[in-house]
């Protein structure tokens, strides 16, 4: 999943709500997830950019301010299950 901005901007936090219908369906929170940012055409890991994968609520991530034109999530899904996002917040 990727979040593109029309121009470079400063970002220092985000929140994500993972889709999880354990017991009723085939979507589970991921095993792991990390946040990357784009700078000079390259993807780099956000310092401290490992996201929590808790169910039933927003997972907040704060990190040192950085300037970027895009954010990207790299996610490892649980074996035999799909994953999804209900909400991804990146404040202005």
pLDDT at 17 over 90: yes
Structurally, the chain folds into a number of domains equal to 1
pLDDT at 24 over 90: no
pLDDT tens track for 55-65:
999 999 999 99
pLDDT for 23 equals: 86
CATH classification at residue 62: 2.60.120.260
Strand partners, 73: 35
Provide the whole-model pTM: 0.92
Distance separating alpha carbons of residues 9 and 7, to the nearest angstrom = 6
Of 23, 30, 18, 91, give the one whose Cα is nearest residue 58: 18
| % the chain with pLDDT above 70 | 100
pLDDT at 69 over 90: yes
Range of the domain at 38: 2-89
């Amino acid at each position: 999943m990727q979040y593109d901005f029309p121009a470079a901007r400063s970002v220092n936090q985000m929140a994500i709500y993972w889709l999880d219908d354990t017991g009723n369906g085939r979507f589970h929170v991921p095993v792991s997830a990390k946040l990357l940012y784009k700078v000079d055409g390259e993807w780099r890991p956000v310092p401290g950019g490992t996201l929590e994968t808790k169910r039933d609520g927003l997972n907040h991530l704060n990190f040192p301010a950085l300037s970027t034109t895009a954010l990207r999530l790299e996610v490892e899904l649980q074996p035999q299950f799909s994953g999804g996002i209900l909400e991804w917040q990146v404040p202005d």
